[in-house]
Amino acid sequence: MKGKTNWKVGELAKQTGLSVRTLHYYDQVGLLVPSRNKDNGHRLYTETDIVRLQQIIALKYLGYSLDNIKELLQDMDYSSGAVINLHIHQLRKHIEFQRNLCLMLEKTAECLRLQKEVTAEQFIEIINAIKNAEKNPLAREQGNKGKKNRKVMEQISIPQTEQGAHYLQGLAME
């Protein structure tokens, strides 16, 4: 990284869109502990802190609790590249899920436009797909809370598209 090497808490909050309170909380719980200015004791964030903050925000977006994030980031084998690759992988899965949901909706709209019958079960499948997406489309299963496990990154899942595939097969048969 080139450019600025230290950020005050207010500067970092403004640039990232996080609140000063959030940054203070991350410091308080030991998730992101910045350096201190020797003269006045104020928090100073370094480039390394920015990388760690990106990891925290990405894992939080993926549905991890702060406790799980802290455990993952304490793992010596854990890298910023691993978090970025995980984020990319989950976004791709999410995009695939959204494409399938869109296809379900398009097929239903087409059936309705052509005045073909759309069953209550087909609408229920759409409802279920939407509700599953609302729960937290990028969140992993939270069954391993409290366990320090490097393989937890491999256990992330998003709502499955089996319902959508079943629904689309049903429409194709009509």
What's the whole-number mean pLDDT along residues 36-65? 89
Beta strand pairing call for 35-36 and 6-8:
unpaired
Whose tokens are 């899942």? That residue is 157
**Torsion over CA: 31, 36, 42, 47 (sign):** negative
Residue 44 confidence (pLDDT): 93
Does the pLDDT at position 158 exceed 90? no
Paired tokens of 148: 């320090």
pLDDT of residue 157: 32
Q: Are 12 and 32 in contact (CB under 8 A)?
A: no
Q: Regarding predicted confidence, which is higher, 98 or 144?
A: 98
33 vs 44: CA distance, rounded Å: 9
- What are the strands of the beta sheet with 35-36, ordered from one edge? 6-8, 43-46, 35-36
- Note the pLDDT tens digit of each residue in 92-109: 988 888 898 999 999 999
Q: What is the mean pLDDT of residues 61-87?
A: 84
- Pairwise CA distance, residues 167 & 128, whole Å: 11
Q: State residue 6 phi and psi, 5-degree precision.
A: -140, 140
Contact 86, 156 (CB under 8 A): yes
The CATH class of the 6-61 domain is: mainly alpha
